[in-house]
Amino acid sequence: MSDTAFADDIKQLGDTLVGLTLKKAKELSDYIKEVHGIEPAAGGAVMMAAPADGGGAAAAPVEQTEFDVVMTSFGEKKLDVVKVVKNITGASLMDAKKLVEGVPAKIKEGASKEDAQKIKKELEEAGATVELK
């Protein structure tokens, strides 16, 4: 454990963020994007402000190493898909059901290519339609 001292307000904010449900985290992300114009970077771990000048010069294309697994449809076997989503996300059965019913839904953010493909395969085997972004 580190000997770094943190301000009480930073500790409280960190504890609050760690305790967010998947639904609340999504709502927070949407709020920050809509109200403050800040979007999560690849992986969602680091936040950065949108450039005011429209981005300037185009960056060289970089091979994508992190993927978001987005379910676009749960198909005809919703219960099977809910069970798979519950196992993947670690969410409660009720939260997994809400996530499935709220398609399109991000099931996993910032996954490696291998993990994203594995998750996509599991969901598709349960009957869902999935995209990697």
Residue 74: CB atoms within 10 Å: 25
The answer to whether 130 touches 70, Cβ cutoff 8 Å, is yes
Q: What is the mean pLDDT of residues 4-20?
A: 82
Give domain status of residue 55, yes or no: no
Are residues 40 and 73 located together in one domain of the fold?
no
Per-residue pLDDT at 114 exceeds 80: yes
Residues 71 and 115 in one domain: yes
Tell whether omega for the bond before 40 is within 30 degrees of 0, i.e. cis: no
User: Would residue 60 count as lying in a domain?
Assistant: no
Q: Are the C-beta atoms of residues 96 and 86 closer than 8 Å to each other?
A: yes
pLDDT at 7: 87
| Residue 42 belongs to a domain | yes
Of the ranges 6-10, 57-61, 63-67, 84-88, the best mean pLDDT one? 84-88
Exposed / middle / buried, residue 108 (Cβ in 10 Å: 0-12, 13-18, 19+): buried
125 and 82 together in one domain:
yes
Do both 126 and 71 map to the same domain?
yes
CATH of the domain at 96: 3.30.1390.10
Which residue range is the domain that position 112 belongs to?
67-132
H helices, E strands: number in the chain: 5, 5
Nearest-angstrom CA–CA distance, 65 and 76: 32
Q: Residue 46's pLDDT band (boundaries 50, 70, 90)?
A: very low
Same domain, 90 and 119: yes
Q: Has residue 44 got a pLDDT over 50?
A: no
Residues 107 and 123: their CA atoms lie apart, in Å, by 10
Task: Give me the amino acid identity at 55.
Answer: G
Domain count, the chain: 2
Pairing of strands 129-132, 47-49: unpaired
